[in-house]
Amino acid sequence: MTPFYQLTATRLRGQPLSMADYAGKVVLVVNTASHCGFTPQYAGLEALYKKYAAQGLVVLGFPCNQFGKQEPGGADEIEQTCHVNYGVSFPMFEKVDVNGPPHTRCFVI
């Protein structure tokens, strides 16, 4: 298994990002969806991020459509939900699979 800080992931708009950028920080990796009962938790995640970012907390959002097809949209729709509707400023990544192969390595324990 590859150590977390050696992984890379792709941001919502296609830019690669190395998890090494977050070495020494507390990283909260979150599986997200824009069309589920938990979508309003974006506001709470953003509040947590803003409150503790200066102390080293980073929230990383990974949209996933595997659970009830609750993230059917593309980058534009995800961005609308996150940034416009909930004011999310923490890093969001492209839609990923988190359950079973081929899953995103950030979700492998």
- Whether residue 14 is contained in a domain is answered as no
Is 106 catalytic? The answer is: no
Q: Are 19 and 61 in contact (CB under 8 A)?
A: no
pLDDT in tens, 57-82: 999 999 998 888 888 889 999 998 88
Instruction: Give the torsion through C-alpha atoms of 39, 40, 41, 44, to 10 deg.
Output: 150
The CATH code of the domain that includes 87 is 3.40.30.10
**Total domain count for the chain?**
1
- Whether residue 15 is contained in a domain is answered as no
Residue 63, domain extent: 33-107
- Whether residue 71 is contained in a domain is answered as yes
Beta strand spans in the chain (E): 8-10, 16-18, 26-32, 57-63
Helix or strand (DSSP H, E) at 104: none
Q: Cα separation of 57 and 24, whole Å?
A: 10
- Whether residue 69 is contained in a domain is answered as yes
pLDDT in tens, 14-69: 999 999 999 999 999 999 988 888 788 989 999 999 999 999 999 999 999 888 88
